[in-house]
Amino acid sequence: MTPDSKLIGHLHALYTQAFSQLGYNFVLRDRPGRRSLSDANEGITDGECARLGKLNDNPSYQNLVRVDALLVHFKLSAYSFRDDLPPITADNILNLKLRIGYPRGHAAQEALLAKLPSRYLSQFSEITHGIRMLTANRLDIMVVPEALLNAALDEIGSPAPHKVGVLAAYGAYPYLNSKHRHLAPPLAEVIKEILSDPHHPLHSFSESTQAN
Protein backbone atom coordinates (compact mmCIF):
# COMPACT_ATOMS: atom_id res chain seq x y z
CA MET A 1 0.00 0.00 0.00
CA THR A 2 1.06 3.58 -0.49
CA PRO A 3 3.42 4.81 2.24
CA ASP A 4 1.43 7.97 2.93
CA SER A 5 0.56 8.51 6.57
CA LYS A 6 -2.81 10.22 6.04
CA LEU A 7 -4.11 7.65 3.57
CA ILE A 8 -2.86 4.79 5.73
CA GLY A 9 -4.63 6.27 8.73
CA HIS A 10 -7.96 6.45 6.90
CA LEU A 11 -7.58 2.92 5.51
CA HIS A 12 -6.70 1.58 8.95
CA ALA A 13 -9.84 3.12 10.43
CA LEU A 14 -11.97 1.81 7.55
CA TYR A 15 -10.75 -1.77 7.85
CA THR A 16 -10.87 -1.78 11.64
CA GLN A 17 -14.54 -0.83 11.45
CA ALA A 18 -15.36 -3.17 8.55
CA PHE A 19 -13.72 -6.27 10.00
CA SER A 20 -15.18 -5.55 13.43
CA GLN A 21 -18.65 -5.67 11.90
CA LEU A 22 -17.77 -9.07 10.43
CA GLY A 23 -16.43 -10.36 13.75
CA TYR A 24 -12.70 -10.12 13.03
CA ASN A 25 -9.80 -8.14 14.44
CA PHE A 26 -7.78 -6.14 11.91
CA VAL A 27 -4.01 -5.68 12.14
CA LEU A 28 -2.09 -3.55 9.63
CA ARG A 29 1.44 -4.74 8.82
CA ASP A 30 3.79 -2.13 7.38
CA ARG A 31 5.89 -3.68 4.60
CA PRO A 32 7.64 -2.42 1.45
CA GLY A 33 5.24 -2.42 -1.50
CA ARG A 34 6.59 -5.34 -3.51
CA ARG A 35 7.16 -7.54 -0.45
CA SER A 36 3.67 -6.69 0.77
CA LEU A 37 2.16 -7.96 -2.47
CA SER A 38 4.30 -11.09 -2.44
CA ASP A 39 3.42 -11.90 1.18
CA ALA A 40 -0.31 -11.50 0.51
CA ASN A 41 -0.12 -13.61 -2.65
CA GLU A 42 1.73 -16.39 -0.80
CA GLY A 43 -0.65 -16.32 2.17
CA ILE A 44 1.95 -15.05 4.64
CA THR A 45 -0.43 -12.16 5.24
CA ASP A 46 -4.17 -12.21 4.61
CA GLY A 47 -4.51 -9.49 2.00
CA GLU A 48 -3.73 -6.03 0.67
CA CYS A 49 -5.47 -2.83 1.72
CA ALA A 50 -5.41 -0.91 -1.57
CA ARG A 51 -4.14 -2.10 -4.92
CA LEU A 52 -4.74 -1.50 -8.61
CA GLY A 53 -8.12 -2.78 -9.78
CA LYS A 54 -6.61 -4.85 -12.60
CA LEU A 55 -3.97 -6.51 -10.42
CA ASN A 56 -5.23 -9.97 -11.36
CA ASP A 57 -4.21 -9.30 -14.97
CA ASN A 58 -0.68 -9.94 -13.69
CA PRO A 59 -0.06 -13.71 -13.62
CA SER A 60 2.24 -13.27 -10.62
CA TYR A 61 -0.71 -12.47 -8.35
CA GLN A 62 -3.30 -15.12 -9.14
CA ASN A 63 -3.70 -16.07 -5.46
CA LEU A 64 -5.25 -12.68 -4.69
CA VAL A 65 -9.01 -12.15 -4.84
CA ARG A 66 -10.31 -8.64 -5.48
CA VAL A 67 -12.91 -7.32 -3.06
CA ASP A 68 -15.34 -5.43 -5.28
CA ALA A 69 -15.55 -2.25 -3.24
CA LEU A 70 -13.85 0.71 -4.90
CA LEU A 71 -11.84 2.65 -2.34
CA VAL A 72 -10.34 5.53 -4.30
CA HIS A 73 -10.22 6.87 -7.88
CA PHE A 74 -6.72 7.93 -8.91
CA LYS A 75 -5.27 9.82 -11.84
CA LEU A 76 -1.65 8.91 -12.41
CA SER A 77 0.01 12.23 -13.25
CA ALA A 78 3.48 13.51 -14.09
CA TYR A 79 4.92 16.48 -12.17
CA SER A 80 8.01 18.60 -12.73
CA PHE A 81 9.70 21.89 -11.91
CA ARG A 82 10.98 22.14 -15.49
CA ASP A 83 9.28 24.63 -17.81
CA ASP A 84 10.65 23.25 -21.09
CA LEU A 85 8.81 19.91 -21.20
CA PRO A 86 6.09 19.04 -23.72
CA PRO A 87 2.80 17.63 -22.41
CA ILE A 88 3.70 14.19 -21.06
CA THR A 89 1.62 11.20 -22.17
CA ALA A 90 1.80 7.45 -21.62
CA ASP A 91 3.29 7.16 -25.12
CA ASN A 92 5.90 9.91 -25.29
CA ILE A 93 7.20 9.35 -21.76
CA LEU A 94 8.97 6.28 -23.15
CA ASN A 95 10.92 8.33 -25.71
CA LEU A 96 11.94 11.55 -23.95
CA LYS A 97 14.93 10.17 -21.98
CA LEU A 98 13.82 11.84 -18.76
CA ARG A 99 14.90 10.98 -15.23
CA ILE A 100 11.67 9.61 -13.78
CA GLY A 101 10.84 8.83 -10.17
CA TYR A 102 7.93 6.91 -8.69
CA PRO A 103 7.03 5.23 -5.37
CA ARG A 104 8.58 1.82 -4.82
CA GLY A 105 6.10 -1.05 -5.13
CA HIS A 106 3.45 0.86 -7.12
CA ALA A 107 2.24 -1.66 -9.68
CA ALA A 108 0.62 0.93 -11.96
CA GLN A 109 3.82 2.94 -12.44
CA GLU A 110 5.92 -0.19 -12.80
CA ALA A 111 3.68 -1.48 -15.59
CA LEU A 112 3.57 1.90 -17.33
CA LEU A 113 7.34 2.42 -17.24
CA ALA A 114 8.44 -1.20 -17.70
CA LYS A 115 9.91 -0.58 -21.17
CA LEU A 116 12.25 2.17 -19.99
CA PRO A 117 15.91 1.38 -19.29
CA SER A 118 16.59 1.27 -15.56
CA ARG A 119 19.13 4.11 -15.83
CA TYR A 120 16.22 6.53 -16.36
CA LEU A 121 14.23 5.31 -13.35
CA SER A 122 14.45 6.02 -9.63
CA GLN A 123 12.24 4.69 -6.86
CA PHE A 124 11.56 6.15 -3.44
CA SER A 125 9.89 4.74 -0.35
CA GLU A 126 7.97 7.91 0.56
CA ILE A 127 6.42 10.50 -1.73
CA THR A 128 8.03 13.20 0.40
CA HIS A 129 11.42 11.73 -0.59
CA GLY A 130 10.45 11.97 -4.25
CA ILE A 131 9.49 15.63 -3.85
CA ARG A 132 12.90 16.36 -2.33
CA MET A 133 14.62 14.55 -5.21
CA LEU A 134 12.61 16.61 -7.69
CA THR A 135 13.44 19.84 -5.86
CA ALA A 136 17.15 18.94 -5.83
CA ASN A 137 17.11 18.34 -9.62
CA ARG A 138 17.83 14.64 -9.20
CA LEU A 139 14.64 13.90 -11.18
CA ASP A 140 13.04 15.52 -14.21
CA ILE A 141 9.54 14.27 -13.43
CA MET A 142 7.75 12.35 -10.72
CA VAL A 143 4.82 10.04 -11.52
CA VAL A 144 2.29 9.88 -8.66
CA PRO A 145 -1.45 10.28 -7.99
CA GLU A 146 -2.33 13.94 -7.45
CA ALA A 147 -4.13 13.40 -4.15
CA LEU A 148 -1.12 11.66 -2.62
CA LEU A 149 1.23 14.35 -3.90
CA ASN A 150 -0.92 17.07 -2.32
CA ALA A 151 -0.98 15.25 1.02
CA ALA A 152 2.82 14.92 0.95
CA LEU A 153 3.26 18.60 0.04
CA ASP A 154 1.10 19.58 3.00
CA GLU A 155 3.25 17.40 5.24
CA ILE A 156 6.61 18.98 4.34
CA GLY A 157 5.54 22.46 3.23
CA SER A 158 7.41 22.24 -0.06
CA PRO A 159 6.72 24.33 -3.18
CA ALA A 160 4.44 22.43 -5.53
CA PRO A 161 5.71 21.14 -8.88
CA HIS A 162 3.41 21.69 -11.83
CA LYS A 163 1.47 18.96 -13.58
CA VAL A 164 2.89 18.18 -17.02
CA GLY A 165 0.58 15.33 -17.99
CA VAL A 166 -1.98 12.70 -17.00
CA LEU A 167 -0.79 9.21 -17.89
CA ALA A 168 -3.58 6.91 -16.70
CA ALA A 169 -6.63 6.56 -14.48
CA TYR A 170 -7.33 3.66 -12.17
CA GLY A 171 -9.14 2.54 -9.05
CA ALA A 172 -7.80 1.07 -5.82
CA TYR A 173 -9.49 -1.98 -4.29
CA PRO A 174 -8.93 -4.33 -1.35
CA TYR A 175 -7.54 -7.80 -2.05
CA LEU A 176 -7.66 -11.00 0.01
CA ASN A 177 -5.55 -14.12 -0.26
CA SER A 178 -7.60 -16.80 -2.02
CA LYS A 179 -7.91 -18.85 1.19
CA HIS A 180 -10.22 -16.05 2.42
CA ARG A 181 -12.27 -15.70 -0.77
CA HIS A 182 -15.46 -16.43 1.18
CA LEU A 183 -14.97 -13.09 2.97
CA ALA A 184 -14.78 -11.03 -0.23
CA PRO A 185 -18.55 -10.52 -0.78
CA PRO A 186 -19.48 -9.60 2.82
CA LEU A 187 -16.40 -7.38 3.17
CA ALA A 188 -17.32 -5.59 -0.04
CA GLU A 189 -20.84 -4.90 1.23
CA VAL A 190 -19.64 -3.55 4.57
CA ILE A 191 -17.03 -1.29 2.95
CA LYS A 192 -19.57 0.04 0.45
CA GLU A 193 -21.94 0.85 3.30
CA ILE A 194 -19.24 2.70 5.25
CA LEU A 195 -18.12 4.64 2.18
CA SER A 196 -21.69 5.58 1.27
CA ASP A 197 -21.16 8.47 3.69
CA PRO A 198 -20.24 11.34 1.31
CA HIS A 199 -18.14 12.93 4.06
CA HIS A 200 -15.94 9.90 4.71
CA PRO A 201 -12.32 11.20 4.83
CA LEU A 202 -11.14 8.60 2.31
CA HIS A 203 -13.10 10.44 -0.39
CA SER A 204 -10.68 13.36 -0.11
CA PHE A 205 -8.10 11.19 -1.89
CA SER A 206 -10.36 10.43 -4.86
CA GLU A 207 -10.04 12.30 -8.13
CA SER A 208 -12.93 12.74 -10.53
CA THR A 209 -12.34 10.07 -13.16
CA GLN A 210 -13.53 6.73 -14.41
CA ALA A 211 -11.23 3.97 -13.26
CA ASN A 212 -10.95 0.18 -13.37
Burial class (CB in 10 A: 0-12, 13-18, 19+), 160: exposed
pLDDT in tens, the chain (212 residues): 334 567 888 999 999 999 999 999 999 988 777 788 899 999 999 999 998 888 888 888 899 999 999 999 888 899 999 999 999 999 999 899 999 999 887 778 888 888 888 999 999 988 899 999 999 999 999 999 887 888 788 778 888 999 999 998 889 999 999 999 999 999 999 999 999 999 999 998 887 644 44
CA-to-CA distance for 197 and 190, rounded, in angstroms? 12
Which residue pairs, CB below 8 angstroms and at least 24 apart, start in 86-93? Answer: 87/164, 87/165, 88/141, 88/164, 88/165, 88/167, 89/165, 89/167, 90/167, 90/168, 93/141, 93/165, 93/167
CA-angle at 131, arms to 136 and 125, nearest 5° = 115
The residues that bridge with 47 in the sheet, in sequence order, are 176
Name the pTM for this structure. 0.78
CA-to-CA distance for 154 and 170, rounded, in angstroms? 24
**Which domains can be identified in the chain, with CATH numbers?**
5-72+172-205 (3.40.190), 73-168 (3.40.190.10)
